[in-house]
Chain A
């Protein structure tokens, strides 16, 4: 039995992940499609083009990054292997003792948290989902929703085992419990570690998206901020980064944009910032024409959200930090020692991953390539299997011989099929195939009780139309859908943080803050955020925001801080105000 199969069977017997994951993902995928449909038609094409350009020009873009980082005073580092990466981070941490870490897949890949803890540092996972799976001790089961495999009662048990006193398992209560623990840690910590969604070569800015506000704290609170990310996480310019943002959150979580989209520029006063780019096999992948496109991945998770194998056996079955179809492709490539070779077989090749991938990675075709590689390198299949396929080739080389083979096959199934059913694994109800079954004339005649009509019951999604071409009306509609109040005047209250937006995005209900307005500490400390928007600065989509982005610090806010890490239930007001008001002027 392959390692994947062993893990999948164990997961299915013990936890039946499909029961939790499948309904969540069916809804999410439908919602994602609706969210994408309301964005610009060419978003995926532009995102794919930006990523394709980046992986074709990695050296040039990194040269530019090095220069731009130097101008900004950001440290540039490359790590060749996983060990180099953890060693570099340890070195940069110098005398730090308490480290607040937010979610980074590359961090998982190189085993960063373990390495730092082994070195005696105190590391806290500050993302709610990561905090929970860290306590559970089995790792994340999804790249954007780490605790997806756990339901609320299990999460309550895990938190209780960690010492929490929780009267019930309300997701809001559980989320806020973790939030409080994280906040307390931030009041006394020496360094923040985050990932990055991309870096921008032309301006040397770092783009990180998040919902909870823990990244906001991590990049602003401690005096030392270290980014760890993949070598491929770079785009040429702001247009490329905005194109990525346009498809990232809709695919990941069916949101227009995440609550916070950070464009980090110069480190703050007294602050130090470093970026560690991890190669760990990526530059070799970039040179392989069969697989290089996998580096276009923006880690949105759309492929796993839609994958029936992922949904059925869950993310932990992959045994890798990268799961689902992207994990099945990238894990054997990054760990070239064959340990993940069998992940390439964990697919029915249905092709949904390729269909939904916003940056056009032909994932199921790569799985076929990896299967061929696995056989060639002796990591998949067996000598017996090869002889079997050789025999197959001989059997189907002429019709007379094949007829004999077919007859033998029929005979075998008819007479011995029942016998082999005795060897069925537990959980597989299939009988031996039946040969030429007789038809029951009643079968086609009509439905049983409770049947549906032709179209009845199929999910009809209401085509969401933009009611008006007017950007003001559109902004109001989208912002209010996010729980943001849009008014013409507001009565100031104590604890308000009043900010002036540089621009706003109508179709996502977002506001853009730049320069001093992005200061994250007062933003998160506010009881209520009030943002003044001039109607003339409204643009339609994120990609239209480029002229307003400037070249310094920028922050796009899309609704209040929130989380959906527990059963995908939205809880608003995590780190930061629960309520946000936009004062729209000149509308």
Chain B
């Protein structure tokens, strides 16, 4: 039985508290002892806006909270990429080495589950059809596409469809979606059109940040498309 921390991304308790519970439930089903880290942020929103000092201050609090744990699991490829690839660069010298070493203990939730020694013991079944949205951070920052699809393929009776333009960004991009809403929304609409073509009415991704943006668009356009995190799919598949 492994002891792990579950880092709940800052936006999750605001938007969809239940996703954190889904993730926790799956980790417990794997036999892990779970401690929840909440109320912290990796600093990505400030970092991507060019505010590096503020990003460092924010991210440092997360690293502090994560420090006692050998494994930190987080249901977000975006936060994982930030902590591993960018946050350490905001520190210097020994602190940078420390940040790197803590950063390397972070694992994106789906990839952690896929590589878990007890994954074969999970009995996963969810009859239905979903389409997979490959988040840019899962795909390019972390290279997780085949890992996540492999994990989803373990769910019995679940038809996981690939989008035709799977490698195209949904247009979220954090503050990009606020600073350039027109361009962002046009990219989102293209993603929705692609989802619609797949025939699936549920879009699944590692990243709730992309999904919340896509879902807000679907609602605005009156399209009956739901967005689920991988954690929700697995949690419901356990039932």
Q: Which positions in A face B, CB cutoff 8 Å? A: 2, 4-5, 8-9, 12, 18, 22, 26, 308-309, 312-313, 344-352, 354-355, 368, 371-376, 380-381, 385-386, 389-390, 392-393, 396-403, 406, 409-410, 413, 424-437, 439-440, 442-448, 450-455, 457-459
Contacts and interface: CB of A to CB of B under 8 A. Distances in A.
A434 B216 contact: yes
Given A348-B173, A368-B47, A368-B48, A413 B180 contact: no
A376 B50 CA distance: 8
A454 B46 contact: no
Contacts of A371: 48-50
Interface stretch (B25-33, B99-107, B115-123, B162-170): B162-170
Contacts, number: 246
B54 A403 contact: no
Contacts of A351: 136, 140-141
Given A351-B136, A435-B15, A447-B200, A5 B39 contact: no
Interface of B: 10, 13-18, 37-41, 43, 45-52, 54-55, 57-58, 61-62, 86, 126-130, 136, 140-141, 159-162, 164-165, 167-169, 171-174, 176-177, 179-190, 197-202, 212-213, 215-217, 219-221, 224-226
Contacts of B188: 430
Given A447-B201, A458-B162, A402 B224 contact: no
A312 B140 contact: no
Given A435-B14, A439-B226, A445-B128, A22 B182 contact: no
B136 A12 contact: no
Most chain A beta-carbon contacts within 10 A, residue among B38, B130, B183: B183
Contacts of B38: 399, 402-403
B183 to A, nearest CB: 5
B128 A448 contact: no
Nearest to A457: B164
B37 to A, nearest CB: 8
B165 A26 contact: yes
B160 to A, nearest CB: 7
Contacts of A8: 180, 182-183
A448 B225 CA distance: 11
Given A351-B140, A392-B46, A402-B38, A444 B201 contact: yes
9 contacts: A12-B183, A309-B183, A351-B141, A352-B136, A392-B46, A393-B46, A396-B58, A406-B14, A437-B226
B162 A454 contact: yes
B232 to A, nearest CB: 9
B14 A413 contact: yes
Nearest to A310: B183
Q: Which 3 A-B pairs have the closest CB atoms?
A: A451-B199, A348-B173, A402-B39
Contacts of B136: 348-352
Contact of A347 (B17, B51, B167, B173): B173
A349 B48 contact: yes
B185 A430 contact: yes
A372 to B, nearest CB: 5
A9 to B, nearest CB: 5
Nearest to B65: A399
Contacts of B202: 443-444
Nearest to B44: A349
Given A12-B186, A436-B18, 4 more contacts: A18-B186, A425-B182, A434-B216, A443-B201
A450 B182 CA distance: 30
Given A368-B48, A381-B51, A444-B201, A313 B183 contact: yes
A429 B54 CA distance: 31
A425 B182 CA distance: 7
Nearest to B171: A348
Nearest to A16: B186
Given A312-B186, A451-B199, A349 B173 contact: yes
A372 B55 CA distance: 11
Contacts of A430: 181, 185, 188, 213, 216-217, 219-220
B90 to A, nearest CB: 10
Contact of A348 (B15, B176, B224): B176
B180 A385 contact: no
A26 B179 CA distance: 26
B145 to A, nearest CB: 12
Contacts of A348: 136, 169, 171-173, 176-177, 184, 187
Contacts of A452: 161, 197-199
B190 A22 contact: yes
A454 B161 contact: yes
A396 B39 contact: yes
Given A444-B201, A447-B200, A455 B185 contact: no
B162 A397 contact: no
A469 B137 CA distance: 40
Contacts of B177: 348
B53 to A, nearest CB: 9
Nearest to A342: B179
Given A397-B61, A444-B128, A392 B165 contact: no
Nearest to B128: A444
B129 A451 contact: yes
Nearest to B203: A443
Contact of B180 (A5, A26, A429, A459): A5
Contacts of B10: 396, 402, 406
Nearest to A387: B54
Given A348-B176, A374-B50, A431-B220, A425 B187 contact: no
